[in-house]
Amino acid sequence: MIKHVQRKAQRSAAETARLRADRARYQRDKPTPEQLLAEGGHQDFVRLGDLLLLHQIVAALRKERTRRKMTLAQLADKTGIDQAALSRLENGKNANPTFDTILRIAAALGKSFVCHLQDAPVKNLGQRKKRITMKRTG
C-alpha cells in the first residue's frame, strides 16, 4: 500500500492568483494537451495514460522485489542504482525514470521488459457527434 503524504505548498500571493486563474481558464476552455504544449510552459507534460502505465510497471517491479524478499539495498547492489533513488521510484516520487533504469531493475530481478507499438486512437477533432433523435409514436 502506498502512503500519500500531503504537504501545504508554500506559494506567494501572486503565484496563488496565477494558479487560480489558470485553473479557471482550464475549466472554462478545456484545452487539449496539444494546445497546452503549443502554448509553452508545459515542457514536462506527461499524458495520464502514460503515467498510469509507468506506475503499473514500477508497481510490478516492486511486487517482484518483495516476492523475492529482496531489500532495496540488495537491489541497489545488483543494479548500481542508488538505494535512495530506488526508494523514490517505488514511492512515486520519481515520476519520470529513464528506460535504462527500468531495464536495469527488471534484469536484476531476473525479468525482461517487453513492450509493443500500437496505433494511436484517431482523433476526430472538429467533427461533431451526430445527434440521435427518437420520435415517440402511438
Residue ranges, CATH 1.10.260.40, the chain: 46-115
What confidence tens digit (pLDDT) does each residue in 27-79 have? Answer: 898 888 778 778 776 666 667 778 888 889 999 999 999 999 999 999 999 99
Each residue of 78-99: pLDDT tens digit? 999 999 999 999 998 887 788 8
Give the three-class secondary structure for 119.
coil
Task: Say what the pLDDT of residue 70 is.
Answer: 96
What are 89-129's pLDDT values in tens digits? 999 888 778 889 999 999 999 999 888 888 877 765 544 44
Instruction: Give the helix/strand (H/E) hosting 60.
Output: helix 48-67
pTM: 0.58
116 three-state secondary structure: coil
Q: Give residue 111's pLDDT.
A: 94
Name the fold adopted by 46-115: 434 Repressor (Amino-terminal Domain) (1.10.260)
